[in-house]
Amino acid sequence: MVFSIATAFSLITRAQDLKIWDIRPAKTWMTEAYPMGNGSIGGMVFGGIAHEHIQLNEISLWTGDETNTGAYQALGDLFIDLSHKDSSETYRRELDLGSALQQVSYTVDGVRYKREYFCSHPDQVMVLRYAADRKGAYTGIIRLKDAHVARTSTEGTTLVINGVLENGLHYDARALVRVEGGEIIPGADSTVQVRNADGFTIYLAAGTDYSNRRSQQWRGQDPTGRDRRILTAAAFKGFDQLKSRHQYDYRGLFGRVSLRLGNTPASVQALPTYQRLLNYRNVPDHGIEALLFQYGRYLLISSSRKGGLPANLQGLWNDSNTPPWRSDYHSNINIEMNYWLAEPTNLSECHFPYLEYINSMREVKKEHTVKEYPGVRGWTVRTENNIFGGESFLWNTPGSAWYVQAIWEHYAFTRDKAWLGGFGYPVLKEIVEFWDDHLKRRPDGTLVSPMGWSPEHGPTEDGVTYDQEIVYDLFTNYIAAADTLHIDRAYRDHVADMREHLLKPRIGQWGQLQEWETDRDDPKDNHRHASHLFALHPGKQISVNKTPELANAARVSLQARGDASTGWSMAWKMNFWARLQDGNHAYTILKNFITLVGGSGVDYNEGGGIYSNLLCAHPPFQIDGNFGYTAGIAEMLLQSQTDELQFLPALPDGWADGEVRGLKARGNFEITDMQWKNGHIVRLTIRSLSGGNCFIRVPNALKGTLSKVSETGGQWRYRCSTRAGGVYAFTSL
């Protein structure tokens, strides 16, 4: 392989700049500890020198049932108390996003200590390895503490917690300790003691008897046997093998996308992450912008893996049994935002927990829905949702229609027709049927959603824009799905007719996009939800290229809403401005997002941002903002919602040069490489995974095997006919 010096340099910068690190242990869970997870078990690592603390979670540990929302629970804590001093001059803890590995290293009394932590998906185990450069350096006590009332016990050198929640859900967590050299003995009060060991390894497994099948009353396999088997297999494989299997698995997902936005000077990279955040206002640091983009991908891979539950309001990291908003699945923006990045940033596999969750809710939600809306087919949801179909707060009538947008998007990005036909289409259709029965027909034929509420303000009334736009999107996706599968022709035409008659978005007296049918929008309203702009993003009914007047009205509304807001609201605004093709405005919001929010404040009127561990501050911590930020950057670089691939649709002046690899576009196209200089694309390589015509819109002329369709307003449009598996490379003309 021949490497140019420039390529080698950029690979090195990329690897360096994928680390979040600090020179002090974490004091505060929410703002400083670093997360790790494998989609089912998770840990927040404090990295204490003599007193390590890893707070633990298991994603299905929920109270509540079908009629009571309950809350997502904390699992417990693992403490490792070492006998050496609690201070060091050389301390460093880091989270490497490139390999999903955390390290803590320090020197005490001339001994160099090093810990390595990860959470393996293939082996379903958390692994913590303690090494030192002097034999016999480790003496300490290891404890496991339950977050509920269960007592810890020991089975040999395994620490065990085993309990039952008030709803009858069984859970089990166990940590097996293995030493090298020295000795290991059971300690007092159900602890394990390590004496004069050269090093030791902790293998931790955890699970519940939750099943996502309602037909089994939401209960499945007993977790104890499963955890025992996991630990036996893990200890047999040992640290090195587990680590390489973990990295192979993780890199297979994470490594698909790389992003470089300009060059970050080595002097900036040499600073601890919180310092870079503090400097960010004054020192340009595109490296941290890209790091935060990749962090969203890390967090999704760590909290949402096939076979598991979707990422909740906090992903899977939660240290409380009464967390904010129950750490639940909120249907009026939050869970949807969690998955905006999945397809565009090439993590389609991580989308499945959400898609499967939607499927698992169908039967129970039908029962709830028909009580509220007698006589309807299909189903919808309230705003707050748990993992057993239980729900609370107000009805969010278009909630299920927004859910199933994900089904269409998964198909649009992957072109997996068998999946669409077998899994996706029946769900899409039953939600369409709900609206077929629920919509109200006015004497003039107009269809309106009755008594809706624009989240989370204003009156409850007919024809709220949020409802109308989501139903429009649902019908559009349904029609496309029926066309793709060549089925249900007559019903498809009926849906097309309903779509025709839906009350459409309107432009109001101050040029704004109306949030309600009555032109009552207040230009001073700066509410965090901008739900009436759904049609701009994540919908596609409004776009700069196809409906410029409506896009302009959306711009007027968005300007009035203002830039400052809560974490997820800023992330949504990045996406809106990207769709409005205003890269500089998207970038202004992006920079506001990178505001270091201190303390453990929970008052969101004080504005959102991020903490020093880069988790998003609603405040408090809420992960949707992290995911929405990543999706926002993807939207700034590539859009494909209007049947063409538009490259650099919203490039800010500050990102004149850069390179991205691995983004995906609808139509199952993978952008294996795009490099730009001075805002112009110099190299573009597209892999067509399903074949077909690829329409391309770019800010400068390209050469390669493509034919020009048009050239207007500084945008070039091309058509490239592709075959499945083909790779198409273009350069600037």
Please report, as ranges, the residues that interact with ligand FUC according to CB under 6 A: 313, 325, 330, 332, 334, 456, 528-529, 566, 568, 618, 622
Residue 568 CB, nearest approach to ligand FUC (Å): 6
Of 102 and 385, which CB lies nearer to ligand FUC in the complex structure?
385
Q: How many Cα atoms are found within 13 Å in the side-chain-facing hemisphere of 405?
A: 27
The Cα 232–Cα 173 span in angstroms is: 14
Of 508 and 608, which CB lies nearer to ligand FUC in the complex structure?
608
Residue 148 CB, nearest approach to ligand FUC (Å): 24
Residue 233 CB, nearest approach to ligand FUC (Å): 38
Residue 535 CB, nearest approach to ligand FUC (Å): 20
Of 325 and 577, which CB lies nearer to ligand FUC in the complex structure?
325
Of 157 and 400, which CB lies nearer to ligand FUC in the complex structure?
400
The two tokens of residue 662 are 């691995």
Backbone phi, psi, residue 412, to 5°: -60, -35
Residues sharing a CB contact under 8 Å with residue 298, sequence separation 6 or more, in sequence order: 97, 100, 254
**How is residue 309 annotated by DSSP?**
P
Three-class SS state of 286 = helix
Residue 165 CB, nearest approach to ligand FUC (Å): 23
Of 154 and 331, which CB lies nearer to ligand FUC in the complex structure?
331
- Amino acid letter for position 652: P
Residue 62 CB, nearest approach to ligand FUC (Å): 16
Of 413 and 568, which CB lies nearer to ligand FUC in the complex structure?
568
Of 502 and 623, which CB lies nearer to ligand FUC in the complex structure?
623
Is the CB of residue 339 less than 8 Å from the CB of residue 351? yes
| Residue position matching structure tokens 């006998």 | 83
The Cα 483–Cα 90 span in angstroms is: 63
* SS3 of the chain: helix, strand, coil, percent, to 5: 35, 30, 40
Of 478 and 627, which CB lies nearer to ligand FUC in the complex structure?
627
- Amino acid letter for position 524: K
Residue 622 CB, nearest approach to ligand FUC (Å): 6
Is the CB of residue 324 less than 8 Å from the CB of residue 614? no
Of 102 and 332, which CB lies nearer to ligand FUC in the complex structure?
332
For 199-257, the DSSP string reads EEEEEEEEEE-B-S-GGGTTB-S-HHHHHHHHHHHHHHHHHHHHHHHHHHHHHHHHTT-
Residue 452 CB, nearest approach to ligand FUC (Å): 16
Closest by Cα among 482, 476, 588 to 535: 476
Residue 390 CB, nearest approach to ligand FUC (Å): 16
Residue 393 CB, nearest approach to ligand FUC (Å): 8
The Cα 462–Cα 449 span in angstroms is: 6
Three-class SS state of 45 = strand
Residues sharing a CB contact under 8 Å with residue 118, sequence separation 6 or more, in sequence order: 36, 100, 101, 102, 126, 127, 243, 246
Of 348 and 626, which CB lies nearer to ligand FUC in the complex structure?
626
